[in-house]
Amino acid sequence: MSDIAQLTSSQLSSMYEVMCKSQALELRILKGMRSGEFATIIWPARGQEAVAGALSLALRPDDRLITTYRGLHDHVAKGVPLVEIAGEVLGTSVGACKGKGGTMHIAAPEQGLMMSTGIVGSGLPVGVGLALAARFQKSDRVTAVTFGDGATNTGSFHEAVNLAATWKLPVVFVCQNNLYAEMTPVEETMAIPHVADRAKGVGMPGITVDGNDPVSTYLAIRGAVDRARAGEGPTLVEAVTFRFEGHYAGDQMKYIPAEQLEEAKKHDPMITFRETLLSHPEITEEHLAAIEARAAQEVDEAVEAAKAAPQPDAAEIERDVYAERLVAGNV
């Protein structure tokens, strides 16, 4: 684990709170699904919480984020209200998209979460477009795009990183490399040791970092964000981590060797980061317990509110399809 002295106790606590909320939300949804309390689908990211903690601290509120269907932790990181995430997962009207997007397509532009993609690799070109828009608008806003290792084998990845590097756009590419592209191990999909090595081919920096260490991941992403904001172009950050659940909720994970999963769980960021935090002179057991209890309570309240909310009205089917025309004098 990195030297936590590089961050304040407030920053460390903030990251841990995001990680706790991410874990609590996912576990609460899985509990509801497995008990028959409600029916839905999620693509778990349990084990990848450190990346969310890092993103939450590295990005400004007005920065943009594009994530994937395995992105509930990223939604929490960008500040999307828990009830809006839970509402979308359960398909009720309090969802960020009024219950019409579902788990795979959550978006909350007010918080800078511009899109969650359901097609592997499809978010990268959109992120490049958002970065180009910031340049046209003469804004110092930065766009971050998160994706898995499997996305780096798609044409859209290579086209996006090439254009971003060529035009020096303010975008940070964050690969959450959990070592499996759905059910396929990463060593069967590429011949190079690190996803970050792909950056060399387009002439931009590539960094590989321990994705189970939120401090190291934060420092890497923050450095890339600062570089992008200064007009120096994009960076590819590879956060090497692991997912402790299957590709989708209910996946039996027979393709993951038991010994590999057991070894990965020894590096569970929720456990290792907590142990590291307790070495900080200003952080106590009581402080962390309070964060954990608050996260669990907020998640429970959000899920209950989402369950109690009505489903979207039938009239919603025709809303939010086209942009509303701005009429002079009535904007």
Tens digit of each residue's pLDDT (9 = 90 or more) over 65-88: 999 999 999 999 999 999 999 999
Q: What is the pLDDT of residues 168-219, one digit of tens each?
A: 999 999 999 999 999 999 999 999 999 999 999 999 999 999 999 999 999 9
Tens-digit pLDDT profile for residues 43-56: 999 999 999 999 99
What integer pLDDT is reported at residue 331 of this predicted model?
Answer: 42
Q: Given 3-state DSSP classes, what are the helix, strand and coil percentages for the chain, each rounded to the nearest 5?
A: 50, 10, 35
Collapse the DSSP code of 68 into the 3-class scheme (helix H, G, I; strand E, B; otherwise coil) and give the result. strand
pLDDT tens string 228-263: 999 999 999 999 999 999 999 999 999 999 999 999
Q: Which two tokens stand for residue 66?
A: 């594009």
Q: Which domain holds residue 53?
A: 8-313
> Which run of H or E residues covers position 114?
strand 113-117
pLDDT at 295: 98
- Run of H or E including 228: helix 214-229
Cβ burial of 305 (10 Å; 0-12, 13-18, 19+) is middle
Per the structure, how many domains does the chain have?
A: 1
325, part of any domain: no
In Å, what is the CA distance from 306 to each residue of 87, 95, 210, 226? 5, 8, 35, 37
Q: Is residue 2 part of a domain?
A: no
Q: Which pLDDT value is given to residue 33?
A: 97
In a domain, 202, yes or no: yes
* C-alpha–C-alpha distance, residues 155 and 44, integer Å: 25
The yes-or-no verdict on residue 327 having pLDDT over 60 is no
Is 331 part of a structural domain of the chain? no
Q: Is residue 166 part of a domain?
A: yes
- Give the model's pLDDT for residue 1: 65
In a domain, 232, yes or no: yes
CATH number assigned to the domain comprising residue 127 = 3.40.50.970
Mean pLDDT of 12-19: 98
Q: Residue 321: which pLDDT band, with cuts at 50, 70 and 90?
A: confident
Query: Does the residue 330 lie in any domain?
Result: no
| 200: in domain | yes
State the chain's mean pLDDT as an integer: 96
Q: What is the pTM of this model?
A: 0.95
Give the tens place of pLDDT for each residue, 92-151.
Answer: 999 999 999 999 999 999 999 999 999 999 999 999 999 999 999 999 999 999 999 999
> b/e for 30-63, b at 16 or more Cβ within 10 A?
bebbeeeeeeeebbbbbbbbbbbbbbbbbbeeeb
